[in-house]
Amino acid sequence: MVPKWYKTTRSIFDKVGHVEFDFVASVYRTLVLSVVNELSVTLCYATQYEQLNDLRVKLEDSLRRQDDSHSRYDLNLTADNLKVASLQAEEEAEAIAEQFLTGIIYITYLFPL
């Protein structure tokens, strides 16, 4: 089976006159093959770019999660949170003691059976 480009090129050169058709066809074919090769190389680079981009996204996600875990388990931050929690517990204990002393709440409320 003869390719369509061969038929089209042949008809063009038949109208123009006698030309070394096989030479022109081989040049045309070489040109087409070089374009196809360039496209395949470009597609290869595009695939590599996509793979590298996926790796970059995964790395950035991993680094973000690592930063989150470092900030979540930071010793200074944990100590500050414990101080705040102890101050809140102390204030609540004082409020309960005050209510107990004034008779607003009873011991059974504080220590249920």
33-45 pLDDT tens trace: 788 778 777 877 8
- Which tokens hold the place of 43? 């597609």
> Is residue 71 predicted with pLDDT exceeding 80?
no
Query: Do 13 and 24 meet the contact criterion of CB atoms below 8 Å apart?
Result: yes
Q: What range does the domain containing 25 cover? A: 4-73
Q: In the chain, how long is the greatest CA-to-CA distance?
A: 119
Distance between first and last Cα of the chain = 97
100 within some domain: no
DSSP three-state, residue 83: helix
This prediction has a pTM of 0.40
Task: Identify the pLDDT of residue 52.
Answer: 85
66 within some domain: yes
20 within some domain: yes
Instruction: Say which DSSP state 103 is in.
Output: T
Compute the distance between CA of residue 10 and CA of residue 21 in angstroms, rounded to an integer: 7
